[in-house]
């Protein structure tokens, strides 16, 4: 049996959840002999599709958030070292670290 299903989380599978619950409410021996297998398979397919959709959405949201963070870091570095990090390249060429600058 599937774990406790939340109707609001799996609203797209609500009809399959109801069909399986109705089947399980029938006589016990029907459940034991696989009468509810079709309903259970349909629910399983629906849940997998829902999970796949939610995973894709979550990945896309994560990528968007990551891009915002990377843009902020890039802007911060540009403010600190200049555009294209020219100051950082010069410092690396002359073996100067930020710790050396902070000492002064």
Would 67 be classed as within a structural domain?
Answer: yes
Would 78 be classed as within a structural domain?
Answer: yes
In angstroms, rounded to a whole number, what is the distance separating the alpha carbons of residues 57 and 63? Answer: 10
Q: Give the domain range for residue 50.
A: 11-103
Tokens describing residue 19: 């069909």
pLDDT-derived band of residue 1, with 50, 70 and 90 as boundaries?
Answer: very low
Would 57 be classed as within a structural domain?
Answer: yes
Q: What is the pTM of this model?
A: 0.60
CB 47 within 8 A of CB 2: yes
Would 6 be classed as within a structural domain?
Answer: no
Q: Kindly tell me if the per-residue pLDDT of 2 is higher than 60.
A: no
């Amino acid at each position: 049996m599937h774990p406790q299903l939340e109707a609001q989380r799996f609203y797209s599978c609500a009809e399959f959840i109801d069909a399986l619950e109705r089947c399980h409410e029938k006589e016990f021996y029907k459940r034991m002999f696989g009468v509810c297998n079709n309903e259970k398979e349909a629910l399983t397919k629906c849940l997998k599709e829902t999970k796949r959709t939610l995973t894709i959405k979550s990945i896309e949201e994560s990528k968007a958030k990551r891009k915002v963070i990377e843009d902020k870091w890039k802007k911060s570095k540009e403010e600190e070292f200049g555009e294209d990090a020219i100051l950082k390249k010069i410092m690396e060429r002359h073996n100067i670290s930020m710790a050396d600058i902070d000492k002064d």
